[in-house]
Structure 1
Amino acid sequence: MNRRLFCLATAATLAGLPLASRAETLHATLYKNPDCSCCEGYATYLRDNGFAVDVKPTNDLAQISLNAGIPENLQGCHTMFIDGYVVDGHVPIKTIRKLLTERPTIAGITLPAMPTGSPGMVGQKRGPFTIYAVAKDGTVPTVYATE
């Protein structure tokens, strides 16, 4: 096989691999309420999908979320910082990978509250999750993805 063909075949193979398989491990810092166990389940979910997660219990979670640009009415169960973005709540890995691949000029994304059946939460999923994009300039959040 010549060098050009080898390079093209390798590139095609890598394009089909998940983000975690193609790149070095992404490191995330997840802030959570000290008494919350579902956040640990979410951290495990992220680790199972190739992320290195440092969990930091805090009693200032609401303020951390606000400081990151997440409006109070859209805050999730925990706040995570990864590769220059904030990810609030039980956001599915597919949407996190979309964010990290597309690299939009936003502060981050959020899945408000604690939806049943979302990653780290118990129960059956009852419908699509709406994940919002949070702008850096404080403008009204918009829908980023529905899963």
Structure 2
Amino acid sequence: MSQNRLSRRRWLRTAAALAAAAVPALGRAATPLPVLQVWKSPSCGCCNDWIAILQREGFRVQAHDSGNTAMRARLGLPLKYGSCHTALIGGYVVEGHVPPRDIRRLLADKPDAIGIAVPGMPVGSPGMDGPEYGDRRDPYDVLLVLRDGTTRVWASYR
């Protein structure tokens, strides 16, 4: 019986230590994300779908239905990386149908860059993946747009 009690005590101590170690990690996970401001056309369904995906993923979104061309230029993102909506979060531009996990990575890694972009509107990207597209999934890259206007691949979806 004492062997059983010793094992139980050891298990309880181990469980308590693991729980104590998890508390700081839970506190970090609860830190709210900055507000994501989005400039888009008021009639763009895929933009609204992208916003809904981000909201389900815990992003707080403020949408501006004024179009995005002027804001993209103001934020310094070259037109060749453009899409149907432009966003700003944590000082970074997020252009187009960027997956939520790539935005989280951008905020965590804090690269010296303008932001990230999914040029065009690739089918299968978040917001471009509704039932009207069936099961189609076109390959695309998320580009890290550097301050000199050049890019490198941030993430690939195949």
- TM interval, shorter chain, is 0.7 to 0.9
Aligned length, in residue pairs:
139
Secondary structure of 1:91's partner? coil
In structure 2, how many angstroms separate the alpha carbons of the residues matched to 1:100 and 1:25?
Answer: 9
Amino acid at match of 1:39: C
The answer for the alignment partner of 2:142 in structure 1 is 131
Provide the aligned C-alpha RMSD in A. 2.4
Question: Where does structure 1 differ by over 3 angstroms across 4 or more consecutive aligned residues?
Answer: 4-7
- Of 1, 4, 8, the residue aligned with 2:21 is 8
CA positional deviation for 1:125:
4.4
Structure 2: 5+ residue stretches without partners: 1-12
The answer for the alignment partner of 1:75 in structure 2 is 82
- Of 129, 151, 157, the residue aligned with 1:141 is 151
Judging changes above 3 Å, is the alpha-carbon distance between structure 1 residues 140 and 9 closer, same or farther for their aligned structure 2 residues? closer
In structure 2, how many angstroms separate the alpha carbons of the residues matched to 1:24 and 1:129?
Answer: 29
Amino acid at match of 1:130: D
Are the counterparts in 2 of residues 118 and 125 from structure 1 also a CA contact under 8 Å? Answer: no
TM-score by length of 1: 0.82
Judging changes above 3 Å, is the alpha-carbon distance between structure 1 residues 9 and 35 closer, same or farther for their aligned structure 2 residues? closer
In structure 2, how many angstroms separate the alpha carbons of the residues matched to 1:125 and 1:82?
Answer: 29
Where is the helix percentage greater, Structure 1 or Structure 2? 2
